[in-house]
Amino acid sequence: MMKKVYSILLCVLLACASLTACAPSADKSADGLTIGLIQLVEHPSLDEIRTAFTAQVEAEAARLGLDIKIDYKNAQADATLTNSICRQFVDDGVDVIVAIATPTAQGAASITQSIPIVFSAVTDPVGAGLLTNMAAPEGNITGTSDAIAVDRIFDLANELTPGIQTFGFLYNKGESNSVSVIEQAKAHLDAIGIAYVERVVTTSGEVQQAARVLLEESDAIFTPIDNTVADAMTVLAAEALAVRKPVYPAADSMVNDGGLATVGVNYTNLGTQTADMAIRVLTGIAVKDIPVEVLTDVGVVVNPETAAALGVDVSRYTE
User: How many helices (H) does the chain have, and how many strands (E)?
Assistant: 12, 12
What are the Cα distances from residue 12, in Å, to 18, 22, 23, 202?
10, 15, 16, 68
DSSP letters of 212-278?
HHHHHH-SEEEE-S-HHHHTTHHHHHHHHHHTT--EEESSHHHHHTT--EEEE--HHHHHHHHHHHH
Under DSSP, the state recorded for 200 is E
Give the residue from 131, 74, 130 showing the smallest Cα distance to 107: 130
pLDDT at 31: 67
Q: What is the pTM for the complete model shown?
A: 0.82
- Hey, is 96 helix, strand or coil? strand
Q: What are phi and psi of 162, to 5 degrees?
A: -65, 155
**Contact between residue 246 and residue 157 where contact means Cβ atoms under 8 Å apart:** yes
Give CA–CA dist 267/63, Å, rounded.
Answer: 23
Task: Give the CA dihedral 184, 185, 186, 190, nearest 10 degrees.
Answer: 100
- Hey, is 15 helix, strand or coil? helix
| Ramachandran area for residue 163 (φ above 0: left; ψ -120 to 50: alpha; else beta) | left
Q: What is the full per-residue pLDDT of the chain (319 aa) written as tens digits?
A: 444 434 443 343 333 333 333 333 334 555 699 999 999 999 888 999 999 999 999 999 999 999 999 999 999 999 999 999 999 999 999 999 999 999 999 999 999 999 999 999 999 999 999 999 999 998 999 999 998 889 999 999 999 999 999 999 999 999 988 999 999 999 999 999 999 999 999 999 999 999 999 999 999 999 998 999 999 999 999 999 999 999 999 988 899 999 999 998 889 999 999 999 999 999 999 999 999 999 888 899 999 999 999 999 999 999 7
Compute the radius of gyration of the chain from its Cα atoms: 25
Give CA–CA dist 38/116, Å, rounded.
Answer: 14
- Hey, is 27 helix, strand or coil? coil
What are the Cα distances from residue 9, in Å, to 17, 20, 23, 37?
12, 17, 21, 51
Strand duo 261-264 + 299-302: pairing: antiparallel
Domains and CATH numbers, the chain: 30-147+266-298 (3.40.50.2300), 150-264+300-317 (3.40.50.2300)
